[in-house]
Amino acid sequence: MNTFLVIVNIFIFLAIIIGLYRMQQKHVSFSKRVFAGLGLGILFGLIMNLLYGLASDVTATTIEWFSIVGSGYVKLLQMIVMPLVFISIVGAFSKVKLSNNLGKISFFGIGILLLTTGISAAIGIGAALGFGLEGIQLQAGEAEETRNAELTERVATVEDLTIPEQVLSFIPANPFADLTGSRPTSTIAVVIFASFIGLAYLGVSRKQPEQAELFAKIVDAFYAIIMRIVTLILRLTPYGVLALMIKVAATSDYESILNLGKFVIASYAALIVMFLIHLLMISLAKLNPVTYVKKGLPTLTFAFTSRSSAGTLPLNIKTQTDGYGVSEGVANFVGPFGLSIGQNGCAGIYPAMLAVMAAPTAGINPLEPGFILTLIIVIIISSFGVAGVGGGATFASLIVLSVLNLPLVIVGLLISVEPLIDMGRTALNVSGSMLSGILTSKITGDLDEEVYNNKKGLDELVEV
């Protein structure tokens, strides 16, 4: 009987995929197909949850099959992330405008990422205090106890980590190992390695222009090939979003979510407020925030469903250049940095909320100005090197709590709602990265506002 039900579910899933493909053949826009996949995924997942239950073998087996599409799509994007990060940074240095504005782009690009992280930390603090959240209110069930046991080993690697040791962890002792993503700080290590190659290229271009020209052509050729792979993978986005949302809706523990509803509401309130600040900053740059939302929705939707800032990087860069008119040099420079520096959701809001909740249990008044200021500074500094994959928020929280000598057990007490909140955090991370690219390009005079204001954008690119 269980096998029959699994087969029925698979046939329904395949029928929806065929429907999405026919929408593509009828030239329905990319954005609409992504949202169709999102909506149908939520509906199908909720029905599975109601019919079979969370712990059902039918649900588990069905999701395992669906993961071929969902997890397979994410893996394809992750496959191209490290090569894209590396070639994007190296290629960015070969752009003449970037070479002339390298100092400005570095300063404003990274500066905006850190500024928005500081603001998001303040908002997270305000949300935790405004909603009256306290760690002492949380109780550990079986899942939470298991999670805390899993965190014990990770805590050992973070608890005694000083700021100088954090800085040292960014430096790539073996860049080839970091290209495999072997460490939590591998992404920023690859960025640093690629930056050294880019700086070396600038030096060679002044003394040996012929060799530099040949190198630039090789880099451009590799970049063109990799971006073509990105475009091919992006065509699968509606199907990937469908499968990912089915998994989320079918396997969520709604009873636990209701029990921790206050924390979930406070988290999303903070995430929404920070996103509105992103739109305000777009408006202050004399750009249309509605256009920002419309062109960014497919990217933000995928970030929401995949819970992977790194996996969203290819779509992030494409949206910046072809949707918003950000110069290739700036997008290729700021986008990869946004994976490991200044993640507004994972490294800003979430650690701030947990620190405020944990403070009373350590005898600290979270309302003290000294504590709040210290917390924001620690969050900004510790936001360097946070991996842009699932678990980055946990790593960031462990660092912040350990530096402030706060109990780490609170991290494991929220395991049941972690996936739900992580979806919103990841979308905000990506929004912060795209915002930094737009504002940096605007400041340096590289933003093509005609492209930004053009109604056409990513949809046409993917169709081509």
Distances (CA, A) of 56 to 6, 49, 93, 254, 255: 11, 9, 53, 15, 16
Cα separation, 335 vs 326, in Å, equals: 11
Cα separation, 362 vs 97, in Å, equals: 51
pLDDT digit string, tens, across residues 311-340: 788 888 889 988 899 988 788 888 888 877
Can you give the pTM of this predicted structure?
A: 0.79
For residue 19, give every residue at least 6 positions away whose Cβ sits within 8 Å of its Cβ, in sequence order, or none: none
Q: What is the mean pLDDT of residues 145-167?
A: 55
Q: What is the mean pLDDT of residues 158-180?
A: 72
Specify the higher pLDDT residue, 120 or 134: 120
Work out the pLDDT band at 160, boundaries 50, 70, 90. Answer: low
Question: What pLDDT does 392 receive?
Answer: 64
pLDDT digit string, tens, across residues 435-464: 999 999 999 888 888 889 887 655 555 554
pLDDT digit string, tens, across residues 183-195: 767 777 888 888 8
Work out the pLDDT band at 148, boundaries 50, 70, 90. Answer: very low
- Give the pair of three-digit tokens for residue 169: 């962890």
Q: Among the listed ranges 73-87, 159-173, 181-195, which one has the minimum average pLDDT value? A: 159-173
Most confident of 133-137, 403-407, 458-462: 403-407
User: Is the pLDDT at 289 greater than 90, yes or no?
Assistant: yes
User: Is the pLDDT at 150 greater than 80, yes or no?
Assistant: no
Q: Could you write out the DSSP letters of every residue in 302-365?
A: HHHHH--TTTTHHHHHHIIIIIS---HHHHHHHHHHHHHS--IIIIIIHHHHHHHHHGGGGT--
For residue 155, give every residue at least 6 positions away whose Cβ sits within 8 Å of its Cβ, in sequence order, or none: 398, 402, 408
Amino acid at 89: I
Radius of gyration from C-alpha coordinates of the chain: 22
